[in-house]
Amino acid sequence: MLQLFNWLIKTFPSLASHQELTAFVLFIILGLLVLTFAAVVAGSLTYFERKVAARIQSRMGPIEIGLGGYIQWVADAIKLLLKEDIIPENVDKILFRLAPYFAFLGAGLTYLVLPFSEKLILADLNVGVLYFLAVSSITVIGILMAGWASYNKWSLIGGIRSAAQIVSYEIPSALAVLPVVLYAGSLSTQDVVRAQAGWAGFHWMIFQNPFIFISFFVFFISMLAENNRIPFDLPEAESELVAGYNTEYSGMRFAMFFLAEYSNVFILSAFAVTLFLGGWQPLFGLSLKIPGTAVDLWKLFSFFFKTSIMVFLVLTIRWTLPRVRIDQLMGLCWKYLVPIAFFDLFGVMFWMVL
């Protein structure tokens, strides 16, 4: 973003006198772009998920509305926009209204440090990984607020479950990221990706050493849990808690939760790819002879291709597995994932020293 700003100032010298204003406008435009991107990604993901689910369940999925049903998610979004926004009596109105935005904030802010390509990143923070870990747990505030404000015991249980779950799983996910950071020697997401350069994926983090290989699975499982995906979707377990924290929500506010959930699926996959699977490092190295700008496109494509495969994995898991129970969930975290993650961390340290 800084580069973009500098480039703007350089190209249009007249802007130099209004630097603050320019930065502000740039912020707004980029923010809107991120929102649009998030919405499109989340929407496409709903279509993708429905199609995958349909294949798994031997159904058709959406087929009616445009391009083999692809426009379905737009129709759904319009429907949700037009729906009455019901705010029940007795709810804590301020918290109830705010909650969806907080839930989305956690998802939206992480786009900031997501390296789509070598040049395409909103802000290459030097603490990018840390930022990602910190920001992604803002979602829990939104969910807790929603559960508390809804004045509904099922929502409350959902909110509390979610808080316990996300806070617990922060630990293994952070610990699982640390080996990567150690190996790359930097907290910047771009640097982590750059550290994985090489031919045909043998330099991806996941193949660097056996401890990181295990770390990847720890990270993946804890990210699934942090994002409330099956088999860890206890906060909204529909057969137990009706719909959990979003029971009382309707219309656009519900859509915000939905958006957050699907953005999170994308982000979970994207970060798994960034940290462990080579990020935007081009597939097949650069053994393919591609001219200048096409290389960037190929990098972008590589990133999205790998991310799509991860998303597909997440969706397949969702439509195959049953849900775990809350005590098993906590047991998995504290009895297995945290020790394993620690073990990995020390393993990587020794590996690097020796």
Minimum separation from the CB atom of position 127 to other proteins (A)? 36
* 325 is a contact residue toward other proteins (CB under 8 A): yes
**How many whole angstroms separate alpha carbon 305 and alpha carbon 209?**
24
Of 278, 347, 345, nearest in space to 310 by CA = 278
Minimum distance, C-beta of residue 325 to other proteins, in the bound complex (Å): 5
- How far does CA 204 lie from the centroid of its chain? 20
Backbone angles phi, psi at 281, to 5 degrees: -55, 125
Q: Does 89 bind other proteins (CB under 8 A)?
A: no
Radius of gyration of the chain (CA): 21
**Choice from 129, 143, 157, 338 touching other proteins (CB under 8 A):** 157
Contacts with other proteins by CB under 8 A: the residue count is 29
3-class DSSP state for residue 263? helix
Q: Identify which of residues 241 and 345 has a Cβ nearer to other proteins in the complex.
A: 241
Q: Is 314 in the site for other proteins (CB under 8 A)?
A: no
Query: Residue 10, interface with other proteins (CB under 8 A)?
Result: no
Give the nearer residue to other proteins in terms of CB position, either 130 or 330.
Answer: 330
In this chain, which of 319, 342, 343, 351 binds other proteins, going by CB under 8 A? 319
For position 56 contacting other proteins by CB under 8 A, the verdict is yes
Closest approach of other proteins to the CB of residue 317, in Å: 11
CB atoms within 10 A of CB 2: 8
Question: With contact defined as beta carbons under 8 Å apart, do 239 and 280 qualify?
Answer: no
Closest CA to 102 of 60, 149, 61, 48: 149
Among 64, 153, 339, 350, binds other proteins (CB under 8 A): 153
Closest C-alpha to 131, from 232, 2, 271, 253: 271
Residues that bind other proteins (CB under 8 A): 53, 56-59, 153-154, 157, 160, 230-231, 233-234, 237-242, 319-328
